[in-house]
Amino acid sequence: MTSPVAPIASQLLNLHEDAKSVITEAAEKNAAKLGRLVQFDMDIVAWVERITGRPEQRQLRDGRHNLGYAIYSASSGLYVQAYASLRLFLELSFASIYFSANELHRRKWAANRADFSWAKALDEKEGVLSPNFVREFSESASIDASSYALSAARCYRHCSEFVHGKLAVTESLPETLSYSQEVMTDWIDTAIFASEAVLYLIYSRYGDELLPIDDGQLSATLEDAFYHLRQIRQRIGLPVEEVHHHGQ
């Protein structure tokens, strides 16, 4: 007698084979951008692992894990799931920094007695990438913080459109588990800007504390991602001539 599990396993394995085919095509056609995105992931890990003895470290790790899940999902053709995980990456990362300076709110959130407000975290005057907030941790980082807040807000809003099933964006999705260059390009570009914003967020919060004891690894992450920013080049001892950057 055939086990009832067998046809279920067969169906799931067939989906797995479809996903493997999508992964191969995604990797072949997007090698450079996926490589850049994986580098951002590694750079974020380098910072998060230095933030020891702090309650927000676990939350930052969880956020970074969702970036990894998002990369895998997008590369497998699970596009809605990729946008959802990318949004959670943003939300957990920004919440971590917000709670790092708001211990009472963090405790209430951890005890499930309060919710995290994305709008509050991105507030122009008091949000975690507002000049008012950032300059309390890094005067120089406050110069460029607002542009990364805007970038994070755009990425979050775009991801939310997929999460909420808005037809204007979801009509571009394949109806089956298959590869779409159009969707993949859009997702990767969104993910790169989101990762850049999170890395800047972490730098702006912990840079003044961690860079003086850096062995060169953290400085390398900043040079790779933010060489176009004068205050970053000056901070890590690089030439400060103007550099053009093609960003969002």
Q: Which of 72-81, 125-134, 195-204, 239-248 has the lowest mean pLDDT?
A: 239-248
Q: What is the pTM of this model?
A: 0.92
What's the CA angle centered on 206, arms 202 and 208, to 5 degrees?
135
Name the residue type at position 214.
D
Q: Provide the pLDDT confidence category of residue 246 given band limits of 50, 70 and 90.
A: very low
216: left (phi over 0), alpha (psi -120 to 50) or beta: left
Q: pLDDT at residue 4 above 80?
A: no
- Average pLDDT over all residues of the chain: 92
For residue range 8-66, list pLDDT tens digits in order: 888 888 888 889 999 999 999 999 999 999 999 999 999 999 999 999 999 999 999 99
Return the SS3 of 132. Answer: helix
